[in-house]
Homo-oligomer: A and B are copies of this chain.
Amino acid sequence: MKEPGEAGPESPRVRIKDVAVAAGVSTATVSLAYNNKGEVAAATRKKVLAVGEGLGYQPNPSGRALRTGQTRILGVLVSYRDSPVWQETYLPYYRGIISDAAIEAMDHGYSVVAASPKPGNLAESIAQLDGAIVVDPLDNDAIVDHCAARGIPLVADGGFVGGRRADKQMVVRGDVERYVHDILDLTAQQHHTRTGRPLGSAALFTGSIIDRYTADTEAAFSSWCAANAVDARVTALEPGGAVTEVARRILATDRPEAVYCLNESYSGAIISAARALELGIPDDVLLSSAATSEQAIRDPRVNYVESADAEGPGRRAVRLLVNYLESAVQEDATVAFRLRPAVAPTPLR
């Protein structure tokens, strides 16, 4: 095993003491200078920094963390769910959050560790965190409890089931009700333009309701349909269920005039199923979908609702966290979404 002091022949790791000696000051002064703290003569600080630079000094994060109790590491966490559904729905979204969070965090001098702890691994696998982002927490989420027990500030992306939350906990989420209603308004209007008749039926392709986002989507869908006298059909993909199977069933059995999908995995499946059933989009069925992963290729025949700018939930969540950590302001955020209507009503060739 490698010894503490030894970092390989490549680089005689330079410590704070080396800088102190080289600059002719004490380690305390070096520390003060590097952290812009206490009263250090401007000239001294300048010299110390110059010497440190010259030596390639890099404060050791472990030493600092041990002393201060802060790691400047944020966790992006999502409960691991051992099902194909998880892969289809959470993973793509999770991926986007991670990279967005990583990029935003860096601008504030933080790092991001990504983890999807299986039940057993939980504690062992998470480094000491200054804060955490939990993606679509479940009801009674083990990760949330874990963080709460350790006093780790946390932002729930998507919100908490039932809205319950403890101290040091924040929320970032889209205004689900508003945009679901907006996209259904758009759909109804498209249907009317095409057929001259009001929309009569709509289907929701959703997952099992285990998180706030799913619950909110279904509630918004149902309330809109009720308010607009549209026949509402909700079909949930059960854990272990096959996406293509459900898509086919929705189209073949229900024959709705419009379908709204929780994410692009589902709308992708609908697209395939429509082709198999020789149903035209949007001629035979209007298709709309939430766009949860920035990367998925958009189908121009589909109405999407997507995060309105580069300012997606991942970045927003990090800023909430950093703000809390550095200024003790604890607040929630709503991220803006916008409609991206279908642009190619003409069939793809």
Q: Which residues of A contact B (CB under 8 A)?
A: 1-11, 13, 56, 58, 60-63, 65-73, 91-92, 94-96, 98-99, 102-103, 106-107, 109, 111-118, 121, 123-128, 148-151, 264, 268, 272, 274-275, 278-281, 283, 293, 295-297, 299-300, 344, 347-349
Question: B69, B94, B349: which contacts A347 (Cβ < 8 A)?
Answer: B349
Candidates B60, B149, B349; contact of A281 at CB < 8 Å = B349
- Complex CA–CA separation, A223 to B3 (angstroms): 50
Question: In the bound complex, do residue A149 and residue B1 qualify as a contact, i.e. CB atoms below 8 Å apart?
Answer: no
User: Knowing that A94-B99, A348-B349 are A-B contacts, what are 5 other residue pairs whose CB atoms are under 8 Å apart, sorted by A's residue number?
Assistant: A2-B68, A7-B69, A62-B62, A102-B116, A278-B349
Instruction: Select A296's contact among B10, B297, B348, beta carbons within 8 Å.
Output: B297
| A92-B295 contact, Cβ under 8 Å, with A4-B67, A128-B61 | yes
**Beta-carbon nearest neighbor of A268 in chain B:** B297
Known: A11-B149, A149-B10. A60 touches B128 (CB 8 A): yes
For A4, A56, A61, A112, the residue with the greatest tally of chain B CB atoms inside 10 Å of its CB is A61
Q: Which residues of B contact A62 (CB under 8 A)?
A: 62, 65-66, 71, 128
User: Can you name 27 A-B residue pairings with CB atoms under 8 Å?
Assistant: A2-B68, A3-B69, A7-B69, A56-B149, A60-B66, A61-B127, A62-B65, A65-B65, A94-B99, A98-B102, A102-B113, A106-B115, A106-B117, A106-B121, A106-B125, A109-B124, A111-B114, A111-B125, A112-B114, A272-B300, A275-B344, A280-B349, A295-B295, A296-B296, A297-B299, A347-B348, A348-B349
Shortest C-beta distance, A116 to chain B (Å), equals 6
Among residues of B, the one whose C-beta sits closest to the C-beta of A116 is B103
Contact B127 A116 (CB under 8 A): no
Residue of A9, A106, A149, A279 with most partner-chain B CB within 10 A: A106
A127 to B151, CA, bound (A): 22
Q: Which of B113, B123, B347 contacts A112 (CB 8 A)?
A: B113
When chains A and B are docked, how far (Å) is the Cα of A65 from the Cα of B63? 8
How far is the CB of A292 from the nearest CB of chain B, in Å?
10
Residues of chain B within 8 A (CB-CB) of A94 are: 99
Chain B residues in 8 Å Cβ range of A151: 7-11
Across the A-B interface, give the 6 residue pairs with the lowest CB-CB distance, nearest first: A8-B151, A102-B114, A62-B65, A348-B348, A62-B66, A10-B151
B113 & A113 in contact (Cβ 8 Å cutoff): yes
Q: Which of B73, B95, B274, B299 contacts A99, CB < 8 Å?
A: B95
CA distance A121 to B264 in the complex (A): 35
Chain B CB within 10 Å, residue with most, of A72, A150, A300: A150
Do residues A349 and B95 form an inter-chain contact, with CB atoms below 8 A?
no
With both beta carbons as reference points, the residue of chain B lying nearest to A3 in the complex is identified as B69
Q: Which residues of B contact A112 (CB under 8 A)?
A: 113-115
A302 to chain B, nearest CB (A): 10
Bound Cα distance A66, B63 (Å)? 6
Cα A257 to Cα B121 with chains together (Å)? 52
State A125–B72 Cα separation when bound (angstroms). 10
Q: Are B115 and A111 in contact (CB under 8 A)?
A: yes
A283 neighbours in B (Cβ, 8 Å):
349
Q: Which of B66, B107, B126, B299 contacts A66 (CB 8 A)?
A: B66
